[in-house]
């Protein structure tokens, strides 16, 4: 059976692009996300190109569902923890605890749930890889980022801790920390569907990263020889020299 890669949040953006890249690299891909119709149509596209694809509707915050998902898989070589996102851009003084809880749930506990339940299969593979898609928000703070920054620091902490704990096991732990990526839904979801607030995030930035740019780095890191562990890869657009240093034209 082919080497198998599980991609969470495969229904859009970076996750869908990563599934495309890993399918191209010869992996059987398992597409996991809540929107079944989206992963079904991606699966149809990939199968049309000869890929072996499994579709698995999944909410990564639902522990029982994740356990059932893990039990249903016969082989896992690569896990890409990509499901996640931001809610709002409120200052700490005004932020809603429910938004913070929801961000912690998906960005931290989601990674914990899926990683923990798939670790036995990754170990059995004899050559496993865990990828955590964190963010530059996992490495520095910015105004209005509070809840997302806290959650992505949590995702970073999981990757860093797990790499230490698994030293000696045949499992690599890779963290990919993207800066500004223009995907169709990330900013829209962050701002509750407000298109003008979402567009303002990228306003004047000549070339934010695309989902495929990030997928390319993920596929590159995953396809290095087994003994090469890309611990942490920070990837930003040229126009973003740092979280606060973004070149905007016009
Ligand atoms: P998208 O909003 O396009 O993708 C988020 C994905 O996560 C969707 O496929 C969504 O699918 C899935 N998801 C959300 N909640 C759950 C859940 N509870 N269970 C399962 N799947 C879930 O955003 P991006 O592609 O831009 O972001 C992907 C990752 O990259 C995220 O972790 C994000 O935080 C991170 N990132 C994004 C950056 C950006 O600028 N865009 C920058 C740095 C990091 P569904 O709704 O179908 O469940």
81 lines ligand 1 (CB under 6 A): no
Residues across the chain: 250
pLDDT level of residue 55 (50, 70, 90 thresholds): very high
Helices 13-24 and 36-48 pack at an angle, to 10 degrees, of 30
Q: Is 62 exposed, middle or buried (0-12, 13-18, 19+ CB in 10 A)?
A: middle
Report residue 236: phi and psi, to 5°. Answer: -130, 160
For residues 65 and 71, the answer to whether their CB atoms sit within 8 Å is: no
Q: Assess whether the C-beta atom of 41 lies below 6 angstroms from ligand 1.
A: no
- The parent domain of residue 57 ranges over 4-246
pLDDT at residue 93, rounded to an integer:
98
Distance 168 CA to ligand 1 centre (A): 31
Name which of 74, 186, 201, 189 is nearest 133 in CA terms. Answer: 186
Task: Report the catalytic residues.
Answer: 148
Q: Give me the number of domains the chain comprises.
A: 1
Mean pLDDT of 22-50: 98
Residue closest via CA to ligand 1's atom 18 equals 59
| CATH code, domain carrying 228 | 3.40.50.720
> What is the token pair recorded at 9?
């949040």
* Ligand 1 pocket, residue 61 CB under 6 Å: yes
Percent of the chain with pLDDT over 90: 98
CA pair distance 167, 162, nearest whole angstrom = 8
Distance (angstroms) between ligand 1 centre and the Cα of 48 equals 25
Atom of ligand 1 nearest to the CA of 62: 18
Kindly report the average pLDDT of the chain as a whole number: 98
Q: Is the CB of 198 under 6 A from ligand 1?
A: no
Whether the per-residue pLDDT at 129 is higher than 90: the answer is yes
Q: How confident is the model at residue 1 (pLDDT cuts 50, 70, 90)?
A: confident
Atom 40, ligand 1: residue with shortest CA distance: 181
206 Cα–ligand 1 center, Å: 23
Q: Is 178 in the pocket of ligand 1 (CB under 6 A)?
A: yes
User: What backbone torsions phi and psi does residue 233 show, to the nearest 5 degrees?
Assistant: -125, 115
- Under the banding of pLDDT at 50, 70 and 90, the label for residue 25 is very high
Q: Is 189 in the pocket of ligand 1 (CB under 6 A)?
A: yes
Check whether 250 has a pLDDT greater than 90. no
- Predicted local confidence at residue 244, as pLDDT: 86
The Cα 71–Cα 195 span in angstroms is 40
User: How far is residue 196's CA from residue 122's CA, in Å, rounded to a whole number?
Assistant: 43
């Amino acid at each position: 059976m082919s080497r198998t890669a599980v991609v969470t949040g495969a229904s859009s953006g970076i996750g869908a692009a990563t599934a495309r890249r890993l399918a191209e690299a010869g992996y059987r891909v398992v597409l996991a996300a809540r929107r079944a119709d989206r992963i079904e149509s991606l699966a149809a596209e990939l199968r049309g190109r000869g890929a072996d694809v499994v579709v698995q509707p999944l909410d990564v915050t639902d522990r029982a569902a994740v356990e059932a998902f893990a039990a249903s898989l016969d082989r896992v070589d690569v896990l890409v923890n990509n499901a996640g996102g931001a809610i709002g851009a409120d200052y700490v003084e005004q932020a809603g605890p429910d938004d913070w809880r929801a961000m912690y749930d998906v960005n931290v506990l989601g990674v914990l749930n899926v990683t923990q339940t798939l670790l036995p299969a990754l170990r059995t593979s004899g050559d496993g890889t865990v990828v955590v898609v964190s963010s530059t928000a996992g490495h520095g703070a910015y105004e209005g980022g509070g809840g997302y920054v806290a959650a992505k620091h949590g995702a970073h902490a999981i990757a860093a801790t797990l790499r230490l704990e698994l030293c000696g096991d045949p499992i690599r732990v890779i963290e990919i920390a993207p800066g500004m990526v223009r995907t169709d839904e990330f900013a829209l979801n962050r701002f509750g569907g407000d298109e003008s607030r979402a567009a303002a995030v990228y306003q004047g930035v000549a070339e934010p990263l695309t989902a495929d740019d990030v997928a390319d780095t993920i596929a590159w890191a995953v396809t290095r020889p087994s003994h090469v562990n890309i611990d942490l890869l920070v990837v930003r657009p040229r126009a973003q020299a740092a979280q606060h240093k973004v070149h905007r034209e016009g």
